[in-house]
Structure 1
């Protein structure tokens, strides 16, 4: 990829960060200052886009906007307030450019609208339907029409209710039926809102969106701006001298700078509506700056801790690792402390080791220790390791590699196991592994924090089943988030109500956009394969409504060999 390819993306991102809202509105009973300011800007943005405005030498018109604040900042509430605000009905609807238009001759149809014909539509992923309904309970005065399935499209007063309510709430599964019903009853959408726009799945056979204005809500808006959303942070950062880099963007580039962002849109349905190659597409994104978010939300500071756990490693598993990859066994010196601890190889000072030997052998062993020469590589030993059969000295990596190929003493050919080794020295504090493995650490946390609530991320569902019996013995209620939508809702409701104390999550998409502000601990049992998923998990807890600090624990035990 060329330098200009990365530079063009950097310019777009930088413009978005420089356009971030830096002024807040007045707080109200339902909105924080940053939310109030965002709602006001949404109204201004729509009017500006529909009427047209100048930027540099470009006359800009549009019917689309992206609400791009990070997760947990209250975008749902902002959109509800925006849709519920009184607005004079538009007497006409500007359609898109006709299909026969060219760059040099173009037209679009302007349709007259009856004042009572328009309504608003909100399309959400199916798993977020209940979350929107829960949010609407805080707005008893705002009318809305929820339609989760085709069965909701019944009743003599439904058409009137759809037109008179603030909005119609549909899922990505029910949208097709809702649109067909709207066409049959001459209902035209003034505003369409698509929640979690970068990850929602709309089928290619679904009817096209027809609207006066379209809002796309997502915290992950990069796929909405770039047809090829691959972001190489390091390549962009090295181009920083060519632009006036915004400090917040610079921090984002430096955070996990080696991580490449690859994930794009979940479905191609929305691609038709997005100007992937327009040089001014940075104008589409509305977001608050990090500074005003922190001041307005005032969330407790979360704590993060990395724990080196004891891995489940044996000579057999190490051998299988190399055989499965058709690799020659290679052990690096810096891996020896963790590997020896995992294999239960004892560590002793030379003086302590000598005190345990027979008197007639002490002098000979002392001489070999002083020489410190590895019998295999004939170099000075690193992490000198002695065998109890013939008391020869070896490098830790040399003897371990030899054991993987032939588990016999290189000198006397006697069979050896890790218990026959002794590393002469002490472990540095930073290399010390915890005495417990990941499962034992989790159980210890659950036992000592019975009143707290935990979310545990693991790559595999079997972790839940491995720990279930122990949790059941302790009388701790734990559940696993399943793929079935209705089972998922029940599980999440139990967790949010406090009936379930521990929630195991393997599929991140199933909780995208969810709210768990009362969770006390987030445990990463495994490393996440996609860096953006980590932000989804954290911001599902570190969000509006949190009153106590969130504790995040990263459990490490894998030894990269």
Structure 2
């Protein structure tokens, strides 16, 4: 039963990937679009035109005749969907379909009716609804890349009298926010204006209240890169379970790559406005995967031709003490076992020095030299009575131990095994020269961040950590070296101001703890993306990565992962 459940999901996802758009350059860009479109954008726009025509007229799949009024545009983040949607609307400034039909709620399989939905030839327009944080970005795309007239409605204050209604009928394109949609709909109802096509950006993450006015349209476009919650009612996917069923069907290469990315981590999606959106999407139709329009990953990569990001993994010194190492074992309910191969990492993390025998002896009192030399000549661990691995001497009684034996003893009882003096890492020395390949970066994460910022004085940085206290710890240090930093907050107006400052260069560093706050935002001026801590899921990483790795980028994005894990 469980296999059948996972198999149905696998087949559905595979159908989506198999139905990806084929390259098509037949779309002719309208004169109102000032920017040359990329090949994959032309393919998407032409695919949307053909899809709407096919869905409106109906088409056959086996013995089923399928009609629809909904399409899901699902290209990946950073691929230029916004401009593609605008270019699509630029070629639809006249009505293409005056009448459509909708199945009535009381219909059954054997007795059904359709409600005819006609649109006026004069009182109509297209509506774009976007999350409030993306409103300015959409306006910028209109102004920078097109000469299309449009009406932007961000607040209800401007909708007084009939002036706005006349502009809507004149320009035919309206853009508003999820917060203002209710007031816009009430306003156009007053003036009997109908929507030909409605576009909803970030459809899986946008918020509509369940009491908002219902959508009335000739065709609805849902735009999102996170499309799985729009076709699967419970969007939780165990990737490994699906991957192990791959021998039953021929899996599309793009789907196989997605399943293999973080295969042990479950995909967990969310449809934020499920109560509102459930009226417009189908979670049960076996052919619902055909609603998805997307380009092949290979075609997008070839079309965009972005510089390849440069990845750097930096091993940093953990902020560790003997007490924190003990807590590490206790939290995981593990016995304090230490392997010899991990001694270089652990000793460096604890601040225990590696010295040659001559260097160590020269720093000790002369009367202790003979004792030290005798211990070194014997090279016998006082605890295990074997030859010492990573010979380590304590400065209280000058006995010699294996590095792992002494450390394990310190974790159980923080006293010298022989003279019972208190154990202090400052009085422990490993009498071995550390090879260069075992020498880790002798700076912690904070120090490494500061070095990166000093070395790249013209850079723009995003630092990710889920812990907001890190920002406040770093803040003072950033100010000392003259770098203005801001934290991306969930407050809408604070977020808009912070992003504007970053784009203008007033702020050079953004600290991010919630990836969903920047979903859909374009931050292409970023030069360095620093992962202070790792993100838990592949999908979240893609959102953060493609906020910077987007169309139009000319220089490689520097991606730095800071690692300071305790190796035991």
Establish whether TM, by shorter chain, passes 0.5. yes
- Secondary structure of the 2:138 match is helix
2:93/2:172 contact within 8 Å kept: no
Corresponding residue number in structure 1 for 2:559:
552
- 1:73–1:140: structure 2 CA closer, same or farther, 3 Å change rule? closer
| Match of residue 65 from structure 2 | 59
Counterpart residue number, 1:9: 9
Cα distance between partner residues in 1 of 2:289 and 2:387:
60
Aligned partners of 1:51, 1:535: CA distance in 2, in Å? 37
Residue 476 of structure 2 corresponds to which residue in structure 1? 469
Q: Match of 1:228, SS? A: coil
Separation (CA, whole Å) in 1 of partners of 2:397 and 2:106: 89
Q: Tell me the CA shift for residue 274 of structure 1.
A: 2.1
The aligned residue for residue 32 of structure 2 is none
Q: 1:368 to 1:275 in 2, by over 3 A?
A: farther
Q: Which residue of 2 aligns with 1:307?
A: 314
CA distance in 2, matches of 1:164, 1:312: 63
Of 360, 363, 369 in structure 1, the residue corresponding to residue 370 of structure 2 is 360
| SS of residue paired to 1:547 | coil
Number of the residue aligned with 1:96: 102
Residue aligned with 1:306, SS: strand
The one of 166, 184, 200 equivalent to 1:194 is 200
Secondary structure of 1:162's counterpart equals: helix
Whether the 8 Å contact between 1:450 and 1:476 is mirrored in structure 2 is: no
Q: What does residue range 249-288 of structure 1 map to in structure 2 within 5 Å? A: 249-268=255-274, 269-288=276-295
Where does structure 1 lack aligned partners over 5 or more consecutive residues?
none
CA distance in 1, matches of 2:360, 2:378: 13
Correspondence 1:40-189 to 2 at 5 A = 40-86=46-92, 88-89=94-95, 92-189=98-195
Q: Is 2:370 the counterpart of 1:375? A: no
Q: Conserved in 1, the CA contact under 8 Å of 2:150 and 2:172?
A: yes
Normalised by the size of structure 2, how large is the TM-score? 0.91
Over 3 Å counting, the alpha-carbon distance change for 1:343 and 1:84 in structure 2 is same
8 Å Cα contact 2:392-2:401 kept in structure 1: yes
Contact 1:384 1:423 in 2 (8 A): yes
Q: 1:188–1:429: structure 2 CA closer, same or farther, 3 Å change rule?
A: farther
- d(CA) in 2 for partners of 1:48 and 1:431? 63
Moved more, 112-121 or 38-47: 112-121
Question: Relative to structure 1, is the Cα distance of residues 81 and 175 closer, same or farther in structure 2, using a 3 angstrom cutoff?
Answer: same
Secondary structure in structure 2 of the residue aligned to 1:119? strand
Tell me the TM-score normalized by structure 1.
0.92
Mapping 1:328-347, distance limit 5 Å:
330-333=336-339, 335-347=342-354
Q: Shift of the alpha carbon at 1:314?
A: 1.3
| TM superposition shift of 1:92 | 4.1
Q: Give the 3 Å change call, closer, same or farther, for CA 86–263 of structure 1 in structure 2.
A: closer
Cα separation, 2, equivalents of 1:349 and 1:265: 61
Secondary structure of the equivalent of 1:123? strand
3-state SS in 2 of match to 1:194 = strand
**Given that residues 458 and 525 in structure 1 are in contact (C-alpha distance below 8 angstroms), is that contact kept between their aligned partners in structure 2?**
yes
Deviations along 1:426-460, whole A, 9 cap, x unmatched?
55655532111111111111112111211111223
Contact 2:78 2:547 (8 Å CA) reproduced: yes
| Distance in 2 separating the partners of 1:362 and 1:312 | 31
Q: Confirm or deny: 8 A CA contact 1:329 1:404 kept in the other structure.
A: no
Q: How much does 1:484 deviate?
A: 2.5
- Residue aligned with 2:278, SS: helix
Query: Take 1:457 and 1:314, find their aligned partners in 2: how far apart are those partners?
Result: 25
Shift of 1:462: 3.0
307 and 264 in structure 1: CA distance in 2 versus 1, 3 angstrom threshold = same
> Once the two structures are superposed, what CA deviation does each residue of 1:202-228 show, in whole Å capped at 9, x if it has no partner?
112212222221111111111112112
Give me the whole-angstrom Cα distance separating, in 2, the residues matched to 1:449 and 1:65: 44
Distance apart, 1:47 and its partner CA: 0.8
Aligned length: 557
Contact kept, 8 Å, 1:20 with 1:288, in 2: the verdict is: yes
Q: CA deviation at 1:239?
A: 1.7
Instruction: Give the direction of change, closer, same or farther, for the CA distance of 1:72–1:66 in structure 2 (3 Å limit).
Output: same
CA contact (8 A) 1:495 1:502 kept: yes
**Compared with structure 1, are the counterparts of its residues 239 and 355 closer, same or farther at alpha carbon in structure 2 (3 Å cutoff)?**
farther
* Structure 2: distance between partners of 1:24 and 1:226: 29
- CA change 1:547–1:362 in 2 (3 A) is same
- Does 2:535 match 1:528? yes
- What is the rounded CA distance, in whole Å, between the counterparts of 2:343 and 2:99 in structure 1? 71
Q: Would you say 1:291 and 2:298 are equivalent positions?
A: yes
Q: 1:494-513 counterparts in 2 under 5 A? A: 494-513=501-520
Deviations 1:231-277, CA, capped at 9 Å, x for gaps: 22222222222111222222222222222211322232223322222
Question: Structure 1 runs of 4+ off > 4 angstroms?
Answer: 320-323, 348-359, 378-384, 390-395, 424-431
Q: Deviations over 1:15-57 (max 9, x none)?
A: 2222222314268643111111111110100110111101233
Once the 2 structures are TM-superposed, how far is the Cα of residue 319 of structure 1 from its aligned partner? 3.8
Correspondence 1:25 to 2:25: yes
Alignment of 1:215-254 (within 5 A): 215-254=221-260
RMSD: 2.6
Deviation at 1:382, TM superposition (A): 5.8
C-alpha distance in 2 between matches for 1:2 and 1:426: 57
